[in-house]
Structure 1
Amino acid sequence: MTRVLVVEDDPQLVRALVINLQARQYGVDPAPDGATGLRIAAARQPDVVILDLGLPDMDGVDVIKSLRGWTRVPILVLSARRASDEKVAALDAGADDYITKPFSMDELLARLRAAVRRTEAAPLTPAAVLVATDDFTIDLLAKRATRGGHDVRLTPTEWHLLEILVSNPGRLITQKHLLQEVWGASKSNKTHYLRVYMAQLRRKLETNPAHPRYLITEPGMGYRFES
């Protein structure tokens, strides 16, 4: 049974989530605040965490950072905060997805199922060194990309950017994180770098670069690799 930790202080919302999740055969552990959520996470080892940011005892971003200190469990943020900088802060801290309130229960459940599938299909471990799609293959250990049986020549910068994305399949990686990792902290606002290099990667790897299937843009937020 897939176990879901729900860290949320609104009792009515918690009740709705518990009813809907249990009806679909999920195990649910509710927590009314961040400290309780962290204790339950350590004790129960959930498969997914649904987390509100506005908790009574601590900010949800701090909960994300604490969890990321020891686990790669998918974290779905569920929050009334709509500002893009709030979303970016949560994603940079390590959240996998961000859903704003009010929300559709069907959408939440769909994103929950997607998070579980990604975890089952592509666990983030050092052993996951070969990424194969219908159109190209990435060998992270050999640092080699092939398409149609031929090597794809990538620059060191293109490779670094691609490596970050394919190592985190399905996860939204923020512009700020990519810029800092590839170009350094001093370039964290140079978003045009990303547009140029992502366009180059799409031309080299995507069948239809104008309508990419694998290297996806989340406008104003970042990019994700969909396998």
Structure 2
Amino acid sequence: MQALLFCPYVDESAVLTVILQQAGFTVRSIRNLEQAIAQWPEQPSELILIVLPLKNQATGQQISMLRGQTLSSIITITEIIPEETHIEWLEAGADLIISRPYSNRTLLAEIKALMRRTAGMPFFSLPTLTQSNLVLDPSLRTVQVSNRDPIHLTQLEFRLLYTLMTHVGQIIPTTNIVEHVWGFSGEGNQELVRGLIKRLRLKIEPDQKNPIYILTEPGIGYYFNRFTEGN
């Protein structure tokens, strides 16, 4: 397993690296969080540990951007923060917020417990789906389009495509997609869904400007199109 560590403090970064290694992770330290977010599809990790000072106003936005890219666990370490900020970060997508001072032993135990709880969707127990010339294989997390080479999907891409393919022809509202894919309810985030739809279309659609598999119902949501090749 790999962990992504963002910590601007050298001494604390060294301590956190050891803790993550004790939890079973290979640690990749970064200095530019925005760049890591942009490169996430090419360099994913199972865990993200972010250490930021209280005055960093962009923290909630950065957490939201990361959550839009991945289902991986997100932990933040900070000074004691107001309840409103704590709630904001959790709603943005953080799984665990640690306040200083913290115990190294307790942090290690909390990381291990979090990883047990967020082991991920049991893809191996889901059936293979075949719809409209697409074959979705949950065990490998791949999709095959018209007998071409299988294409690997991220967890989010898989959840989205699986949700759409199990409701062929049914319009799924954006808020429902957020709940199915990201696992939380509420008004949802249209930008998260729109970005994920775009990435998935890049992988499966012959022409992204004229999609044939994933179609948009303006103002409502998306649906998987039922058709046969040649129609």
| TM-score using structure 2 length | 0.49
Q: Which has the larger radius of gyration?
A: 2
TM-score between both structures, scaled by the size of structure 1: 0.50
